[in-house]
Amino acid sequence: IDIRLAQYAGLRQIFEKCFRFLQAMARGNDVVQGRLFDRLDRLLSVHGAEAALADALTEVFTGNQEMCLKIRGYQVQRIVELLALHQLDASEFLDLLKAVVKVEELDLPLKRNQAFVMTYINQNRAKLAWIIEKDAAEKRKRLLKAGDMSDPELSYLLRMVDLLATCAEGENRFIESMCQNIFSIEDLLEILNDPEISIPCKRPYLRFFVWVYLNTAGGKVESGASELDHDDDMWRYMGLLNQSLQKLGNSLKGMERDTKKMQSVRMTLKPGRKKIDTPSRKALEAARQDNERKSSAAGRVLEEGFLTYLFEGVLPFLQVFYTDYYQPEGDQRQMEVKISQALALNLVHISDEISRYVGDENQFRLLRSTVTTLLNQETLELPQEMVTKFQQLSVDVQVDVRSDLMKNYESEFNREEQLNDRLNQFVVNFKKAYEGPNTVRVQIGYPSDTQYCEEDGDEDLPLGKEFQDHLSCFTNRSDGVDKHASKLVEQLFISYSDPDLAKLSEAERLEQERTSVTSLQVLRAMVHNQIMLLPEDDSGRSKAYQRTMERVRLVQDALNAFQSPLKIIPLLSHHNDDIVRETLALLATILYRGNRAVQAGFEYYFLNTREERFFIDVQARLQRSVVATRERRALLAQHRAKVSKSKEMMETLRLKTQGKKAAAKTSLAAAGQVSDEIELKTLEIKEGVHEVEDTSDALRFKDDGYIELILRIMGFMCDGHNRVLQDYLRVQSDNIKSLNLVAETTSYLQLFYGSINEDNVAVVTQVFDTLIEFISGNQENQAVAFDRQLIDAINDVLRLDGLHWKDSSLVGQLKQAALIVLQAMIEENDPQTIRLSKGILETVHIEALYENMQKAFEEARQNPGEDGEDMRLLAFTIHHILLGLQDFGQKHWGKKWLFSYNPTPEQAGADAVLKDDTMSVEILRGEELQKVYFRVKKKAALREEVKEQLKWHISRESPTDKLRDFLEWAQDIRSDISFQQRVRKHRLASMLIAGRVFWYWSLLLLTIALNVFILASWTAPRDFEERLPEVENYFFPVLISLGAIHSLLSLCMLVTFYLSNWNNFVFPTIFYTIFKLETPKKSHSSINWFGLQSMYFVLFLTFSILSLFFDGYFYCFHLFIIVVNNDILGRVLQSITRNGKSLLWVAALMLVIIYVYAIVSFAFLRQSFDRNEGLFCENLGQCFVTSLKYGLLSGGGLGDALRPGTYSFHEPGLKIIFDLSFFIVITVIALNIVFGIIVDTFSELRDEKSRAQADMASVCFICGNPSFEFDKRGEGFDKHVKQEHNIWSYLFFFIHLNSILPNDYTSIEEFVAQKLSSNEIDFFPANRALSLAETEDKNAQELTELKRMMQQLLARQEQEDAEQRRQKERQEHKTWEKRHLHEAHDEEDEAGITAI
């Protein structure tokens, strides 16, 4: 349908009324403005009511900064094309372009939009600018002098000039030069001085004159306005202005009784959009007749729109002229001084009169600053009372500009309005009461007061039981997600893929969008609720955390199984920002903690579908955010410049006034008058009235593109060092167009260079967090980030102090993120990183690193608890970076290289303290040796007895066995240390464990003292049947006192032992067999509940208590405490207990043999047992006991103990066989076997210790290189095993890995963690060390240099030999020539003689 045809005139009128209705709806309504902007492309395609459309859209952008910043270049181009198409029929598009260019609420232009408008106007200049071409000058004059505002051509001309003036605002040199080619200064002054041209027609030209020629970026000379200060045409115009201002003042003064006129003036000055009105001819005729009825010239000034002319053109003109151009020349320019003085007086008078009508604070600021500019001119002599009057002038910016009708309405319905306010407040309160507090406890019933969701943020969720009940319909208890949840995903997929949805009505479409938002929120809440159950302040290693995290992963995997991420990615291109925000939030939640299954889904989606939309959307949002932020920053700079300039002028006026008053006071005092009677007040600039307020809140940074969410999603994609996605985000080789999102993200940091504040710190921190995931372990991404000036951004962060921030912890978090990025850049030791490190060393600010390290260290020292942990971590991070940079510097410039910056003593002190708690390890990754620095939190958690056990009991059969056994020991020790750290959190337990050495030595000394006391005090009783000794009276008090202390110390010793080893106790194997329990894995530190070590401490306490009741008899057993912690005595006991099983079997054999001999003795030798000598054999039992006792104790065996008797001839032979066999079998063989086992065990233990000592002294435990290699080629074996390959450093490194979340691993840490989980040892640097590698590199360089020198010598020798050969050949040739020449002469002589 061509709506422009006559038969569609009715439809065209409907369109016009629709747009007028939308215009009225959009006025001051952000929601309607937003919805109209979302449909801007569709609205610009409507035909038939272009003028009304332009007015409606102008209302969308007027005073709406966000809409002006969001408009795209192609949309501006479309508006210009519509203007070029319709020209005079829709000149309102010029007003629309002006609203797009200038933020009216701030009175500041947008440079980006200025450039858009001027670019597209130039492209359509032939169609648009015909009215301002030079060949149309006569036509313009005719139009201006006619002043017929209903003439479309005049309206188009004025609007075009007004738009060009607006585009030139803000000191845009390029646009200024373009506009200067349109109208010259002479042309403009001719129009401004022409009395036949009306004031409304002059206003755009005056604005053009101000912004194109006077207030310019190029300066007076470049614009050609350098001679304007004394130009006759200029001052003639100033005179006309002076007359008009005088008339205006008189008109305002005589208007006090004319209520209708007062209301008219107020409405004229009312804040709001000003445009070139085009009334009908009938309205103009009525206005002309009304003017003819008015006799006052001043009244005509008001009716002709002079007030609008004054505030939009005259005042800016006067301000810039008297600030930058006017230069008085004393008495030579008296006329200029008089005009200027008259202007000042008239403006002061107008300021006083108009203050009761001004309803816009910006208008009064402009008036005040202009008057201040004039009053600051030194040549002006104004009455002091008038200056003081102006200084004391104030204005209520909330002036009542309501019409009488509105006043009556508000008076009539005041009570209803109050009731509406109360109802609105009730709704807000009821909503909060219905939803409940925003805590996990209230929302999901988990006992935690943590905030449930971020309120009014990008990731907020509906609160209240209703939403949770709705959510429960899609969840279950198994994996947290019900199968019906797939319907939500399908609904979202259909919402953008079903072509039938395009046929929905607007109401149905809005309902569909609300449904999509709710579906996205429900899907996100499934994961979010599980995340909220994670324990707070947990390292991620507790069983509770792992169980909950597993639950989170189950929900994520269930949603991933529905292909949720892949089906909702297209929603990122949706026009509804709420849907885009919820889509991003859902993706971030599903990817939380770098879920591997979801990452694999993204990999498959990207690699198999050649997806480009995601990358295009991300790049577009980043770029739009950059543009919007830069525009806000430009606006803020302009705003602050205006504020600063206004304040400077007011301060100048204040100082000038004070000087005049001081002079007056001095003159009065000299005349003998009492100065106290004259009140001389100085100007006070009052807050909110006389001081220009800094209303820059609207220009603060806003994450309106959800950049933080986008960055978090990309970070989660690469979390866990996903190399595939790291590379794919850098380059999409399978796509038609590849977008480097790594470079885009790094470049985004440049937007905040030098301007990081509390508004944007969250986004900047997220940028660094995302870059950590991008570059960790990926050298190509590191090179890209470095090329995009990443180090400069880090330096900028290091210079940030944040002293005036409300939350200073945000600075620490930002610095930590930035420094981890830097740490990741220098983490590895491959050739590419080595090359990159040189550029980093030349770029990074070393002094700033030291300063931040010292500051963080001092703050951490002032807060020794958990409050200072963040600063402590920051200090260690910087320290490790400095160590890494030092290593790379020495690689480039030699071992003696140091930083050019010399740290202060305080910085060096902090560095030394941090170094004490820092260790390093060398890791073999691929073919490269990597050095890793890490922090050791609590060295005391590793007990000395555990270290001794590992040192002496680890297997040293081969280097491989050593390392494998070390990993097993490390696992046991990690478990022990983890238990120790948990125990030490309790104060009493920590004190007991810390005092275990004190308990030992105290008990040892006290036990010796008690036994010495008993030794000196006991006397044998006279009665042999009496068991208790005779003692003095002082014995029992001393014994009880010392014994009580002894028992207390014994209790402490027992409790300390059980606290320290509780995690290592196990029951005998038979216990688990009987009760059918799973037998725990036996560790190197396992202790049997009923073993000798555990029972010893129980008996120790028991005997200590018994000694109190039995006169100290049991204190003798406590002397065995000397065996505890004594390596020598321990080995003596171990020589018996180590092969205790063998000894028991040998003893059993001896008992069997002795039993056999006892039976023989009972049968044949009973008469040899003399009862009087203690030899009993009345029964077999007595005979066996006697044989056992005397057979072992007698030197000759049992035969030596039995008495000799009288035997027959054959009996002595049998007795000899009996005695000799017993002696040989028991005394000689069996006992020597026992002694041999003990001696051999002791020798074996001694040899093991000797071998261990030799191994520790001659071979590196980690790399297996002999000590002489380091003494010859390195820096010594001692330094190597203590600093480079310290076994305890590797142990603490494994503990360090166990103390952090896997998602926080660096690339090398994750590599080692994977090796440990699979029980592999190839990450240990077998037969390699960095110190030896450096020596090898140095030797290789020396060999290369020697080879080069040898080659040079050989080449030189070959050249010399060749030269000698050439010399010899030349000499032989000369000899040959000489000989043959001589022969030739001889032949000639012979021939001559013959001839003669």
CA neighbor of 779 nearest in space, from 819, 828, 838? 828
- From the list 270, 285, 190, 284, the residue with the least C-alpha distance to 237 is 190
Nearest to 176 by CA among 133, 134, 234, 114: 114
CA 1290 to CA 1240: how far, in whole Å?
Answer: 35
Tell me the C-alpha distance between 341 and 382, whole Å.
7
Tell me phi and psi for residue 1175, to 5 degrees. Answer: -100, 110
pLDDT at 368: 79
Q: What is the 3-state secondary structure (H, E, C) of 1050-1101?
A: HHHHHHHHHHHHHHHEECCHHHHHHCCCCCCCCCCCCEECCCHHHHHHHHHH
Q: Give the global pTM.
A: 0.81
Where would I find the H helices in 304-383? 306-309, 315-324, 334-354, 361-375
* Token pair of 906 as six digits: 């305080």
pLDDT number for residue 713: 95
pLDDT at 299: 46
* HSE-up (13 A, CA, CB side) for residue 655: 8
Is residue 548 within a helix (H) or strand (E), and if so which, with residue range?
Answer: helix 543-561
> Which residues does 786 contact at the CB level (< 8 Å), separation at least 6?
825, 836, 839, 840
Report the C-alpha gap between 946 and 939 in whole angstroms: 13
DSSP H/E element including 108: strand 108-109
pLDDT at 529: 93
Angle at 1239 between CA 1236 and CA 1241, to 5 degrees: 105
Give CA–CA dist 354/956, Å, rounded: 99
Residues of the chain with pLDDT under 50: 276-299, 301, 394-399, 401, 664, 667-695, 1206, 1209
Tell me the pairing of strands 108-109 and 102-103. Answer: antiparallel
The type of residue at 164 is L
Tell me the per-residue pLDDT of 137-182, one tens digit each, with 9 for 90 and over.
Answer: 888 888 888 888 888 999 999 999 999 999 988 777 888 888 888 8
Question: What residues pair up with 1087 in beta bridges, in sequence order?
Answer: 1065
CA 589 from centroid of its chain's CA atoms: 18
